[in-house]
Amino acid sequence: MSSADALRAGARPVVSVIVPSRLRIPSLERCLRALAAQSRVPDEVVIGLRSDDVDSARAIERLAGSYPAELHCACTQESGVVAAMNAALSQCRADSAIIALTDDDTEPRPDWLRVSPIQASAERAAATGSRSNGETAR
């Protein structure tokens, strides 16, 4: 059954979150705590990393066992945030109906992933956000 068929049947949409990161473990850990505290916890979180960022990969591996969602990393040899996002996108679940993008230095509000009826009825939906700590983006 495709994700669109599942949504039409009333199933809860599968939500994947992509977080590009590079050598910012404390920021990444704060972001992951905020994602774990969502009113609608994602089904998976995929961290896009450079292949040489072993410390971040180890931190993700350490957190994965107790994380409330599937947590894993996707590595790329290429540099840059877009390459990290593309690597993570390629590792997202095939049945994801919603793919949300954030950055490792954000702490999304607890309601960030709440799915609206409009999103839930879409065949494919994507969500992205900017600063969600209550401040106005500059």
CA 102 – CA 66 distance, rounded (Å): 21
Domain 3-128 annotated CATH 3.90.550.10: yes
Digit-by-digit pLDDT tens for the chain (138 residues) are 555 565 566 678 889 999 999 999 999 999 999 999 999 999 999 999 999 999 999 999 999 999 999 999 999 999 999 999 999 999 999 998 889 999 999 999 998 887 554 455 555 555 545 444 444 333
Find all residues with CB under 8 Å of 136, minimum gap 6, and list them.
none
Amino acid sitting at position 112: W
Rg of the chain over Cα atoms, rounded to whole angstroms, equals: 15
DSSP secondary structure, 35-89, as one string: HHT-SS--SEEEEEEETT-HHHHHHHHHHHTT-SSEEEEEEESS-SHHHHHHHHH
Domain ranges within the chain, ordered by starting residue: 3-128
How high is the pLDDT of residue 137? 38
Decide if 13 contacts 98 (C-beta within 8 A): yes
CA 125 – CA 138 distance, rounded (Å): 27
In DSSP terms, 120 is beta-bridged to none
